[in-house]
Amino acid sequence: GAAIRFEDVRFSYDPEREILKGISFEVPAGQTVAIVGPSGAGKSTISRLLYRFYDVASGRITIDGQDIRNVRQESLRAAIGMVPQDTVLFNDTLAYNIRYGRPGASDAEVERAAELAQIDGFVKRTPKGYTTEVGERGLKLSGGEKQRVAIARTILKDPAILLLDEATSALDSHTEREIQDALERVSRGRTTLVVAHRLSTVVSADEIIVLEQGRIAERGTHAELMTRR
Ligand code: ADP
Ligand code: ADP
pLDDT for position 169: 52
Radius of gyration of the chain (CA): 18
**Best CA proximity match to 24, nearest among 60, 65, 52:** 60
Q: Is the CB of 13 under 6 A from ligand 2?
A: no
177: phi then psi, degrees, rounded to nearest 5 = -60, -45
**Whether residue 23 has pLDDT greater than 90:** yes
42-101: per-residue pLDDT in tens?
999 999 999 999 999 999 999 999 999 999 999 999 999 988 877 889 999 999 999 999
* Residues present in the chain in total: 229
Query: Which residue is closest in CA terms to ligand 1's atom 11?
Result: 40
Span from the CA of 12 to the centroid of ligand 1 (angstroms): 9
pLDDT band at 167, cuts 50/70/90? low
Residues near 206 by beta carbon (within 8 Å), at least 6 away in sequence: 28, 31, 32, 33, 221
pLDDT band at 171, cuts 50/70/90? low
Q: Which residue has the higher pLDDT, 184 or 5?
A: 5
Q: How far apart, in whole angstroms, are the C-alpha atoms of residue 197 and residue 217?
A: 15
**Best CA proximity match to 11, nearest among 60, 72, 66:** 60
pLDDT band at 154, cuts 50/70/90? very high
pLDDT for position 168: 55
Q: What is the ipTM of this complex?
A: 0.67
Using most ligand atoms within 8 A of CB, pick from 44, 85, 194, 210 the residue to mutate for ligand 1.
44
215-226: per-residue pLDDT in tens?
999 999 999 998
Query: Which residue is closest in CA terms to ligand 2's atom 19?
Result: 84
pLDDT for position 229: 72
Residues near 61 by beta carbon (within 8 Å), at least 6 away in sequence: 4, 5, 6, 7, 9, 49, 50, 67, 68
Q: Which ligand has the nearest atom to the CA of 23? A: 1
Ligand 1, residue 39: give the atom nearest the CA: 4
Cα distances (angstroms) measured from residue 142 to each of 48, 88, 148, 166, 229 = 25, 12, 10, 16, 36
